[in-house]
Chain A
Amino acid sequence: MVTFMKDTVNISVFRFDPLSDKEARFDNYTIPARGLRTVMDALMYVRDHKDGTLAFRSSCRQGRCGSCAVHFNGRYGLACEMPLSEGKNQVRPLAQLPVIKDLVVDMERFWEKYEAVKPYLVRSSNDAVLSLRKRLEMDKLFDCILCGACFSACLMTGKNPDFHGPAAYAILNRFLLDDRDALREQRLALVKGENGVFRCHQMFNCNEACPKKIYPSENILEIIKIID
């Protein structure tokens, strides 16, 4: 557990309302350190005791629901999981997605790309059986909570609006691994075009951003191998 040396913690939070603000700013808050541990704790404190209009999403507060992905002190992660530091604490919204207000971004493009890879099982036959081997290979992939951190960290999603992004490809690979699935060829056709998996430049930003250690770029490589 983190124990702070000082009685207070400083946190700097990105604030922006595109409808009323000309430009974005950082608001600085000094808050009591007692009982605080994570970035989420601090954000909650600010909203509860400093400014009730601070906009951010939260739900499960245990790294399971994917609501609270943010950019904190230079890296992406879940606000509810990342510990505050003794020194600088800077929170920014996810990149590549339009800011609605403060830390709340419009996730629509992220969901749209996810849905585009047909993220659902269509059985090849009613009694198709999942093998234990495939099940174990997929084990890590169902940890994905679709928080959007990898999508924001990716350099390609910003440049190319048609690129599906790391999360969508990781999910796609989950279905490619499933030996019950009937859409294999369709799925591959969807992503082998010029804006598909080959656009990935293997910068591994997604791997670093992923709070659940899914390693999306490895999944992208696996898909590339299948297509090649």
Chain B
Amino acid sequence: MAIIKKALFYLLVLVIVVVSVFPFYYAIITSLKTGTALFRVDFWPTQISFDNYTSVLTSRNFPRNVLNSLFVSASVVILALLFAVTAAFALSRVRFRGRSLLLLTVLAVSMFPQIAVLAGLFELVRGMGLYNTPFALIFSYTIFTLPFTVWVLTTFMRDLPVEIEEAAIVDGATPWVIITKVFMPLMWPALVTTGLLAFIAAWNEFLFALTFTSSEVQRTVPVAIGLLSGASQYEIPWGVLMAASVIVTVPLVVLVLIFQRKIVAGLTAGGVKG
């Protein structure tokens, strides 16, 4: 019985992994092909050519685009978490009039289609002189990272037992100390998770990045990938496209591997006992 259960469990794990990874695996296979071979279906690599990778990595600006993306995404995460942790404290631990309304207003920002704010944001970005700088992206990305991080952190912080905070208040701790010294250590799983999701969202954003930058050295990775094209207007360079996708996905996988101990570690049972 236990063995069957275990077998079924691992089967489930296997299915999850295969479904998640297969398209990526297929992208890797495709990235190793060139020319007409691209139009043939193969389940295993039949041809191993790194031409696509060399052509991506040696293209003048691609490494720079990766750096841009890293800089923008990291800044967005730091900013979003900083603003969101403090806001979440106020929204979850302090009772004041209009709190629900405020939460709903924050949420409402996420209700507007990105495409509809494009024109207004563009005027704003140009007006503030941020056009074609990474700050235009850091600035505009808060529109989708901030509501999300605020909400998630508010929910998590609300569930932290009140006794911990009371103890700190009795010790004379200011709210800032409570946040940084008491709550933050308890919230690592939530912080890392939301941070990671925000990072990925910023890393993948295309529309704003395309609109608010114009020079190749300022562009981010998704735009750089969107700009990969074949020798002629209609040709889609599948091989190179897939190679570039593989290259940009790897850092994220590494990031997850680094941070996952934090995600797992979670709360020690004793720390949160309510």
Partners in one complex: no
B residues whose Cβ falls under 8 Å from a Cβ of A: none
